[in-house]
Amino acid sequence: MFSVSNIVCKTIGVAGLSAALYDAGKIGSETSGRIKQKVNADHFERVHNSTRTMSTESQVTGFIQDKVADYRMNNPLFSMFGSVKGFCKGFFETLGNQILPVSFASMALAGKGVWAKIGAWGVAGYAALTIAREGFGIGKVSPKD
């Protein structure tokens, strides 16, 4: 049967992982928008520059070049690629920055006995440290100093 301490450890593990994954998802979404804009801007600049020059002067070549450029500008794959690239970058960077609480939460969730308790205490300690530092400014260097 489950003991109370086991249920508390698993609950703390779920809460810690949920907070870390929520944060990573939000940061991933924000980074996705920025990277998508950068990829689109670079792509549009490249397409625009390639359509402004021709090796020989020709009406047919110019017409074909404009049609191909229009197709390349309206291709949604570049935008989607930038969006996916940005989300993955933001998501995994955030998880990498939060490796300690994710490790403790995973230990609390997947561990048994003493290991689950160590993970739960680690999550609680990390949460208390974060609240003290970010909330109350304890141990944080002021930009004015």
- Which pLDDT score, from 0 to 100, does residue 74 have? 84
Task: Give the whole-number percent of the chain exceeding pLDDT 70.
Answer: 98
Read off the pLDDT of residues 123-132 as tens digits, 9 standing for 90 and up: 999 999 999 9
pLDDT greater than 60 at residue 1:
no
Q: Which residue is listed with tokens 């402004």? A: 52
Say whether pLDDT at 61 is over 90: no
Domain span holding position 127: 4-135
Q: 109 with 14: CB under 8 angstroms?
A: yes
Domain assignment present for residue 128? The answer is yes
Q: Is 33 exposed, middle or buried (0-12, 13-18, 19+ CB in 10 A)?
A: middle
Q: In this structure, what DSSP letter does residue 134 have?
A: I
Residue 37, CA distances (Å) to 40, 43, 81 in order: 5, 10, 11
Q: Does a structural domain hold residue 76?
A: yes
Is residue 70 domain-resident? Answer: yes
Domain count, the chain: 1
Task: Write the pLDDT tens digit of every residue in 74-112.
Answer: 888 878 988 999 999 999 999 999 999 999 999 999 999
Residue 39 resides in a domain: yes
* 106 assigned to some structural domain: yes
Evaluate whether residue 143 is within a structural domain. no
- Tell me whether residue 142 is in a domain: no
45 located within any domain:
yes
Q: Are the C-beta atoms of 62 and 54 separated by less than 8 Å?
A: yes
